[in-house]
Structure 1
Amino acid sequence: MREFFKYVFATVVGVVISLALFLVFFVLLIIGIVKTSLKEQKVSVNSNSVLLLNLDQSITERTADDPLSRLPLVGSDEDKSIGFNDVIRALQKAKTDDNIKCVYINVTSPQAGFATMREIRDALIDFKTSKKKIIAYSEVYTQGAYYLASAADKIYLNPEGALEFKGLKSETMFFKGALDKLGIEAQIVRVGNYKSAVEPFFAEKMSDKNREQVTAYLHGLYDTFLEGIAKSRNISTETLYQIADDYKIRQPQDAVAYKMVDELKYKDQIIDELKTLSGKEKKNDLTTISINDYARNVVKDQPTSASQKVAIIYANGDIMGGDGSDHQIGSERISKAIRKARLDTDIKAVVLRVNSPGGSALASDVIWREIVLTKKIKPVIASFGDVAASGGYYIACAADSIFVQPNTITGSIGVFGIIPNFQKLFNDKLGITFDGVKTGKYADIMSVDRPMTAGERLIVQNDVNRVYDSFITRVADGRKRTKAYIDSIGGGRVWVGTDAVRIGLADRTGNFNDAIIAAAKKAKIKDYSIVEYPEMRDPFKSLMDNTTDKIRTYYAKQELGASYPIYQQIKSAVSRSGIQTRMPFEIKIQ
């Protein structure tokens, strides 16, 4: 029997070692393939080329160097992503590139926020000043897709396709009923009647204050949406509003009748038109280059000899302590990047690019401090993306000037904390009880196995009040306003970009490039190059990390189906710690 177990044990060990060696070999093989693939993927632009603008991929703040998505037979279109900044630079370059004859927009459901789409749309309109044509084609246009496509000279729709045009909707999911059934109480401490991030945990519907602010910002977004389309398509905003309100685009022919699209065409007809625009004979193949390849191989290869620099600091994602990631704002990593830009004498100005709903109040303050110190030495201009709210606004409020898009979501100057009470869940549902000994009255403050005492609630409320007072003080100092005024427009209220300028939370509406030009002008420099911070993560480490995340996400979606968004929200809420300065909701475009 002993020999048998020895044999079994040796077999198991052998299998484990073999699997480990196989895994190591597999990883090295993948890395080798990736390196070889990347070396061979140098793309040149042939004459008479069409720039293919695929906008259904994930449009981020910066292009992630994800080697996996560029592997042949592995990366798919849905795995691809591109930074909006690279899209803009590519379009700027294409304006004067004699090899690029026209742009073809292919878009059905863009993965981008309103302000990001506005940035790209502005770049498309600027491209048309070159007199080169832009055409857009899709089998289906969602509203976001149509907003982008409307910048084209010609918009085409498949004869059996669809154009969605129905107006915007905001909806909040409330968890109070589910928490009650589970025996969980969300103990809320906050400052600001508009700070509605906590409402889903203690209410069953929107409060009057929340409904007021959502109505205001949603109509602000809608106005910008309609105005852009109206100007490009030469249709009045009133007409567009009526088309959406009555849901008049029900058949493909309706889109033509109401001048929303120019013609109904099939893909082969689009290809023929692109051949004509690019100077190709119809018997020859169409020559195209994707926006991803063009940005990676043409735009980024442009040399610069300028010694003076403008640094762009990308602050993208939730704000938290530590290093964070390329999609999270880690206070340590971002602070280090700001210090590096401050201490570099070649860098004459800094642009802080913010796309964040907020997060940790403490981490926000750490980043704010670095902006204050940098502002004393060189100009700091803030550029807001889709969202720069709560902590996202906090970190930028000290900047010399703040640029927003008309449809940027910002403000949300408020603070909250959630302390869950699982007592009923533990006691009544699971039969678990707790007992212990403590040496101080508040030794177990923040315990989740019982409700807070009046004394504990007072302590937490005072702490939240202190953070809020610091918040409005920082904003008042940065915006050169009184604390009383900032408090009057604060209280957690969310504002759209145009309103933010009107009430003094921002200085002007303008795109990312406008902010860079303003920074250079304030620094009194004309010939300059751009440097970007923080440095992107190592692509091969990202490859392994992203692979794990994608596998985890895939199985979670398969298991949860339509409930996956709920899982994401709960997971996000559980992961937060400390007092939060966070926007009260997420915005998704459909």
Structure 2
Amino acid sequence: MKQFFKFVFASMLGSLIASFLIVVIFVFFIGGLIAVAGSDKTVDVEPNSVLQLKFNYPITERTPNNPLSGLSFLGIDGEKSIGLNDILANIKKAKSDKNIKGIFLDESDLMAGQGTTEEIRNALIDFKKSGKFIIAYSEVYTQSFYYLASVADKIYINPKGIFEFKGFSSKITFLKGALDKLGIDVQIIKVGTYKSAVEPFFLTKMSDANRLQVTSYLGSLYDHFLTGISKSRKINKDSLFNIANDLKVRLPEDALKYKLVDGLKYKDEILDDLKKRAGIDNKDDLKTVELGDYGSSEAPAEDQKESSKNRIAIIYASGDIVGGEGDDNTIGSERISKALRKARLDNKVKAVVLRVNSPGGSSLASDVIWREVVLTKKVKPVIVSMGDLAASGGYYIACAADSIIAEPNTITGSIGIFAVLPNMQKLFNDKLGITFDGVKTGKYADLGDMSRPLSPEERAILQGQVNQGYDYFTKAVATGRNKTQAYINSIGQGRVWTGEQAVKIGLVDRLGNINDAIASAAKKANLTKYNLVAYPEQKSFLNKFGLGMSAEIKAHFVKSELGENFKYYEQIKGVTQLMRTPQARMPYDVEIN
């Protein structure tokens, strides 16, 4: 027996030592990767170079703080993603860089919202003022990528390629049929005729009010899309509408016939054309620098700003609005509130630009952030820049600012509140054979119990809370926008608007991008020289590795398994979030095809 325990303890000790060594080796391995990937290397841009723009990754507001970006690890492809902030900065830098002769807009999936696409497109238009060229090429043109590429001097497509030009459509996934089969009755408490986030739970198709608002804002987005292409390609807008409406472009030859592209070419022909434009001998290799690498090159002397003690803070609020800290992909009320307080109390910060890209979320968390915006506005200018979305709770946190600037195709408004509470009694009793029993000390002690339906009294209580939330929301907007609450209610009711429409009804002050917002903040603070500082501080890679890497790995494998159906998985997973607290959120996830 003594010998047995000896072997057992020896085995346990060996396992512990082996585990410790594996952890140590793993840590050193990760540290080595970070050291190699994160080493600061200045990229030398050779004369007669071409800046290559290829967007095959989701474009976030800020470049992720990930030194392993671009590397492959544990079977996960480490795509080198660049945030919108660096994309715009690099295009601006290339404009005055004597070594950059032009831009090659290479085939891209362009996983970006319409507001983000608009910002990049406008940066390319500004780049062209330098007299440098932009050439676009792709084997497949989606409508989003073509809208971006339409500003190029020349647009080429592979002779056997695919060109999509068919108009916009918007689709909503309705869950009522599935919920009925499962025996789940979703109890809805809401304010707002157009607040249709909850419609998928109790309808099988769009309500008349929802169809009206979707038709309105989708038409506005499509009109802006056609107007932009018409101006860039010098094609009559009505002609573009008819080309799309009749699906006249079915082959690359059709795109050439209707002057949507300038030629049918293979990649080798494009590279030869780029060499010629860049002044490189056809026998030599084309000198290209990728967008991600170009960020590490030295800025031209004329772009190097003078140091100033004055600062403008850019506070990035991107993602769903939630209580607590949140992360780089969500708007945590505590984290964003801290950032606003930090900027407010810093005497060097003379103005704040609040960059909002959010469909909304928790109404309580939205109100917490709104309060900090109000306090900050009392001591220094606050300008809001809206990205793809600034709707519902996203608009709530923006409405107190001195000025609101949006893109024409920003989705905003959606002023309304709702709450969702499932009744799973039939699922438990009839489908699973599960019953419940218990005792309580108060009439409403089990309010919110999902194993039974709400009583009329309980529903009235919840409706009162939602009504009060809507009253707070409309009052905040009325105060911030200097309107009557009755007027805000008339354009509220959960209705969604585009940025272009929002200017006309007074929810937005003017159209523009984040640089316009920065310029507006500087003007309001009487600044001619200033430095930009970004808040909140991005979480370090090691912090994310320790706290959330397992979730990222799981998401990667689920996404790779489900492919395009991953979006439905995300929608179903998001249902649980809607059931926690009253929500000031977009009617649904806007998906435009």
CA offset at residue 21 of structure 1? Answer: 3.1
- Are the aligned partners of 1:107 and 1:149 in contact in 2 as well (CA < 8 Å)? no
The yes-or-no answer on 1:161 pairing with 2:164 is no
Alpha-carbon spacing, 1:4–1:225, altered in 2? closer, same or farther (3 Å): farther
More deviation, 460-469/540-549: 540-549
CA distance in 1, matches of 2:153, 2:72: 34
Point out where structure 2 has 5 or more consecutive residues left out of the alignment.
none
CA distance in 2, matches of 1:559, 1:4: 47
CA distance in 1, matches of 2:124, 2:487: 39
- Are the aligned partners of 2:69 and 2:78 in contact in 1 as well (CA < 8 Å)? no
Q: Match of 1:587, as an amino acid? A: V
Query: Does the residue aligned with 1:485 lie in a helix, a strand or coil?
Result: helix
Instruction: Please give the per-residue CA displacement for 1:273-295, whole angstroms capped at 9, x wherever unaligned.
Output: 11122221111111111111212
- Are the aligned partners of 2:45 and 2:297 in contact in 1 as well (CA < 8 Å)? no
CA distance in 2, matches of 1:158, 1:198: 44
The yes-or-no answer on 1:471 pairing with 2:506 is no
- Are the aligned partners of 2:71 and 2:79 in contact in 1 as well (CA < 8 Å)? no
The yes-or-no answer on 1:454 pairing with 2:456 is yes
CA distance in 2, matches of 1:293, 1:176: 48
CA distance in 2, matches of 1:266, 1:496: 38
Cross-structure match for 2:222: 222
Alpha-carbon spacing, 1:328–1:72, altered in 2? closer, same or farther (3 Å): closer
Instruction: Please give the per-residue CA displacement for 1:403-445, whole angstroms capped at 9, x wherever unaligned.
Output: 0111000000000000111111111111111111111001111
Alpha-carbon spacing, 1:403–1:303, altered in 2? closer, same or farther (3 Å): closer
Cross-structure match for 2:21: 21
CA offset at residue 541 of structure 1? Answer: 2.5
CA distance in 1, matches of 2:7, 2:184: 52
- Are the aligned partners of 2:171 and 2:591 in contact in 1 as well (CA < 8 Å)? no
CA distance in 1, matches of 2:23, 2:552: 18
CA offset at residue 179 of structure 1? Answer: 0.5
CA offset at residue 78 of structure 1? Answer: 7.1
Cross-structure match for 2:189: 189
CA offset at residue 397 of structure 1? Answer: 0.1
Report the identity percentage. 57
Q: How does 1:567-586 map to 2 (within 5 A)?
A: 567-576=569-578, 577-586=580-589
Query: Does the residue aligned with 2:197 lie in a helix, a strand or coil?
Result: helix
1:341 to 333, 340, 343: 343
CA offset at residue 9 of structure 1? Answer: 7.3
CA distance in 1, matches of 2:166, 2:108: 16
Cross-structure match for 2:436: 434
- Are the aligned partners of 2:106 and 2:137 in contact in 1 as well (CA < 8 Å)? yes
Instruction: Please give the per-residue CA displacement for 1:196-218, whole angstroms capped at 9, x wherever unaligned.
Output: 00000111110000000000010
Query: Does the residue aligned with 2:27 lie in a helix, a strand or coil?
Result: helix
CA distance in 2, matches of 1:43, 1:339: 37
CA distance in 2, matches of 1:77, 1:67: 14
CA distance in 1, matches of 2:3, 2:430: 52
Q: Match of 1:385, as an amino acid? A: G
Q: How does 1:46-57 map to 2 (within 5 A)?
A: 46-57=46-57
Q: Match of 2:341, as an amino acid? A: R
- Are the aligned partners of 1:166 and 1:247 in contact in 2 as well (CA < 8 Å)? yes
Q: Match of 2:586, as an amino acid? A: M
CA offset at residue 588 of structure 1? Answer: 3.1
The yes-or-no answer on 1:443 pairing with 2:445 is yes
Cross-structure match for 1:36: 36
Cross-structure match for 1:205: 205
Q: How does 1:243-322 map to 2 (within 5 A)?
A: 243-298=243-298, 302=304, 304-322=306-324
Q: Match of 1:485, as an amino acid? A: Y
CA offset at residue 388 of structure 1? Answer: 0.2
Q: Match of 2:398, as an amino acid? A: A
Q: Match of 2:119, as an amino acid? A: E
- Are the aligned partners of 1:309 and 1:531 in contact in 2 as well (CA < 8 Å)? yes
The yes-or-no answer on 1:588 pairing with 2:558 is no
CA offset at residue 335 of structure 1? Answer: 0.5
Cross-structure match for 2:509: 507
Q: How does 1:105-144 map to 2 (within 5 A)?
A: 105-144=105-144
Alpha-carbon spacing, 1:546–1:280, altered in 2? closer, same or farther (3 Å): farther
Alpha-carbon spacing, 1:237–1:77, altered in 2? closer, same or farther (3 Å): farther
Cross-structure match for 1:531: 533
TM-score (norm 2): 0.95
Alpha-carbon spacing, 1:318–1:6, altered in 2? closer, same or farther (3 Å): farther
CA distance in 2, matches of 1:160, 1:442: 67
- Are the aligned partners of 1:31 and 1:540 in contact in 2 as well (CA < 8 Å)? no
CA offset at residue 162 of structure 1? Answer: 1.1
Cross-structure match for 1:179: 179
CA distance in 1, matches of 2:254, 2:374: 55
Q: How does 1:518-557 map to 2 (within 5 A)?
A: 518-543=520-545, 547-557=549-559
CA distance in 2, matches of 1:545, 1:77: 20
CA offset at residue 169 of structure 1? Answer: 0.6
CA offset at residue 60 of structure 1? Answer: 1.0
More deviation, 352-361/34-43: 34-43
Query: Does the residue aligned with 1:388 lie in a helix, a strand or coil?
Result: strand
Q: Match of 1:134, as an amino acid? A: I
Cross-structure match for 2:65: 65
CA offset at residue 8 of structure 1? Answer: 6.0
CA distance in 2, matches of 1:524, 1:406: 27
CA distance in 1, matches of 2:299, 2:396: 34
CA offset at residue 561 of structure 1? Answer: 5.2
- Are the aligned partners of 1:307 and 1:346 in contact in 2 as well (CA < 8 Å)? yes
CA distance in 2, matches of 1:269, 1:276: 11
The yes-or-no answer on 1:390 pairing with 2:389 is no
Instruction: Please give the per-residue CA displacement for 1:466-518, whole angstroms capped at 9, x wherever unaligned.
Output: 00000000000000000000000000000011110000000111111111111
Instruction: Please give the per-residue CA displacement for 1:360-385, whole angstroms capped at 9, x wherever unaligned.
Output: 11110110011111111111111100
Cross-structure match for 1:379: 381
CA distance in 2, matches of 1:188, 1:298: 56
CA offset at residue 149 of structure 1? Answer: 0.6
- Are the aligned partners of 1:59 and 1:84 in contact in 2 as well (CA < 8 Å)? yes
- Are the aligned partners of 1:56 and 1:106 in contact in 2 as well (CA < 8 Å)? no
CA distance in 1, matches of 2:336, 2:153: 41
CA offset at residue 30 of structure 1? Answer: 1.7
Point out where structure 1 has 5 or more consecutive residues left out of the alignment.
none
How many equivalent pairs are there?
590
CA distance in 2, matches of 1:545, 1:44: 36
CA distance in 2, matches of 1:429, 1:567: 23
CA offset at residue 558 of structure 1? Answer: 5.0
CA distance in 2, matches of 1:122, 1:113: 14
More deviation, 13-22/431-440: 13-22
Query: Does the residue aligned with 1:58 lie in a helix, a strand or coil?
Result: coil
Cross-structure match for 1:368: 370
Alpha-carbon spacing, 1:74–1:432, altered in 2? closer, same or farther (3 Å): closer
What is the RMSD computed on CA atoms of the aligned residues?
2.0
- Are the aligned partners of 2:171 and 2:592 in contact in 1 as well (CA < 8 Å)? no
Instruction: Please give the per-residue CA displacement for 1:521-568, whole angstroms capped at 9, x wherever unaligned.
Output: 111111111111111111233355564234202332355455432221
Alpha-carbon spacing, 1:83–1:561, altered in 2? closer, same or farther (3 Å): closer
- Are the aligned partners of 1:106 and 1:137 in contact in 2 as well (CA < 8 Å)? yes
CA distance in 2, matches of 1:411, 1:439: 43
CA distance in 2, matches of 1:125, 1:544: 42
Cross-structure match for 1:401: 403
CA distance in 1, matches of 2:564, 2:100: 43
CA offset at residue 17 of structure 1? Answer: 5.0
CA offset at residue 11 of structure 1? Answer: 3.6
CA distance in 2, matches of 1:281, 1:484: 69
TM-score (norm 1): 0.96
2:360 to 331, 334, 358: 358
Cross-structure match for 2:329: 327
CA distance in 2, matches of 1:410, 1:257: 38
Q: Match of 1:446, as an amino acid? A: G
Instruction: Please give the per-residue CA displacement for 1:317-372, whole angstroms capped at 9, x wherever unaligned.
Output: 00011110011000000000011111111111111100000001111011001111
CA offset at residue 272 of structure 1? Answer: 1.1
CA offset at residue 6 of structure 1? Answer: 7.2
Cross-structure match for 1:411: 413
